[in-house]
């Protein structure tokens, strides 16, 4: 294994360790507290009437929850992803994979997902590549990631703050819109665009949707701070370690992004992730127009322990969401589109 791959493995292992550290979380910035769901004392439905079933990317799933992209391509990730994949197939959740960047230069890296796909043939996966790789790598290599995985979509993740604090000499983002537009035209599956935890504003969202992006996942702040994680890894760079303190509350929260996109949520696939820590958070996102809700850190925390813990966490999120829907008089996801069940708190 050459030094570049050793560095990659080290960084990805650090990501898991630091993402599970409470000091890397921004939950006080999540904004979920400003949204109050309207309780219906007499909802006029039975609890058993409530259904979480939803169609995403043309496929039926048991829940609007999905496993948000986390980790891949290193020694520790296979067991974690096997647990997540097994649970996702059992519960019929959509699963976003971790970055497939390593597969672009190392044929062995694809073996992890091939093993998972062989073991779980009914599992629905969404590929994942960073915008920097999309800009710089040949398109046929990007398209091969989709083919190798048999995915039903591909995420392009946007991470400017994280890229800078990875201590890179360059953070390459110029011509990003053009690269995404070309991918949309050439991809055989829907293209989804997400941030990694600092939000996507209305201007960027509208531009992406106009060029044919199927889903924008706003992924606002309030959860894991990836800039802080990268800075924490650079112990030998005092400037980087000192600089990150100015960015502790950088970006827009998931809630702020959804509030800013109220004109778009009725007609487009806006998804929400970033700081989702329970099913009531999910209900707030759906009430604000999100079509699906991504869960990451709580499932990662469970996956380092066992598959049973992952399933328990998934069932908890679904039960909390179903209970919230029942108490709002919401039978199914579509009802959120036609009934306002939230208000902004003055507190």
The tally of domains found in the chain comes to 1
Domain of 60: which CATH number?
3.20.20.70
> Residue 29 sits in which domain range?
3-344
Q: 15 pLDDT band (50/70/90 cuts)? A: very low
pTM for this prediction: 0.90
pLDDT tens per residue across span 171-195: 999 999 999 999 999 999 999 999 9
pLDDT digits (tens, 9 = 90+) for 17-73: 554 555 555 555 678 999 999 999 999 999 999 999 999 999 999 999 999 988 644
In this structure, of 19-23, 200-204, 311-315, 330-334, the range with the lowest mean pLDDT score is 19-23
Distance CA 111, CA 113 (A): 6
What's the pLDDT tens digit per position in 206-243? Answer: 999 999 999 999 999 987 786 787 777 776 677 777 88
Q: How confident is the model at residue 97 (pLDDT cuts 50, 70, 90)?
A: very high
Give the span between the Cα atoms of 238 and 231, in whole angstroms: 9
């Amino acid at each position: 294994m050459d030094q570049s791959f050793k560095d990659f493995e080290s960084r990805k292992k650090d990501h898991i360790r630091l993402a599970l550290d409470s000091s890397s979380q921004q939950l006080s910035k999540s904004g979920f507290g400003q949204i109050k769901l309207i309780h219906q004392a007499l909802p006029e439905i039975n609890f058993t009437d409530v259904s979480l079933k939803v169609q995403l990317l043309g496929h039926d799933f048991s829940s609007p929850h999905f496993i948000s992209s986390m980790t891949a391509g290193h020694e520790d990730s296979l067991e974690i992803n096997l647990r997540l994949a097994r649970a996702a197939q059992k519960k019929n959740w959509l699963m976003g994979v971790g970055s497939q960047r390593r597969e672009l230069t190392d044929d062995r890296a694809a073996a992890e997902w091939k093993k998972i796909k062989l073991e779980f043939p009914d599992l629905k996966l969404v590929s994942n590549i960073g915008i920097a790789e999309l800009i710089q790598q040949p398109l046929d290599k990007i398209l091969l990631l989709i083919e190798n995985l048999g995915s039903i979509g591909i995420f392009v993740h946007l991470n400017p703050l994280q890229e800078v604090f990875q201590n890179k000499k360059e953070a390459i983002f110029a011509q990003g819109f053009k690269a995404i537009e070309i991918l949309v035209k050439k991809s055989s599956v829907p293209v989804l665009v997400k941030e990694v935890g600092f939000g996507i504003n209305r201007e960027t969202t509208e531009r992406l949707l106009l060029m044919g992006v199927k889903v924008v996942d706003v992924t606002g702040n309030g959860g894991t701070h990836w800039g802080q994680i990268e800075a924490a890894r650079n112990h030998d760079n005092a400037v980087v370690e000192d600089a990150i303190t100015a960015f502790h509350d950088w970006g827009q929260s998931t809630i702020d992004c959804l509030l800013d996109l109220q004109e778009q949520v009725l007609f487009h696939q806006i998804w929400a992730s970033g700081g989702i820590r329970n099913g009531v958070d999910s209900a707030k996102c759906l009430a604000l127009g999100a079509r699906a809700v991504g869960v990451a850190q709580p499932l990662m925390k469970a996956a380092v322990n066992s598959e049973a813990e992952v399933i328990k966490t998934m069932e908890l999120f679904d039960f909390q969401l179903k209970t919230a829907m029942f108490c709002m008089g919401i039978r199914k996801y579509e009802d959120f589109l036609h009934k306002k069940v939230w208000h902004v708190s003055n507190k």
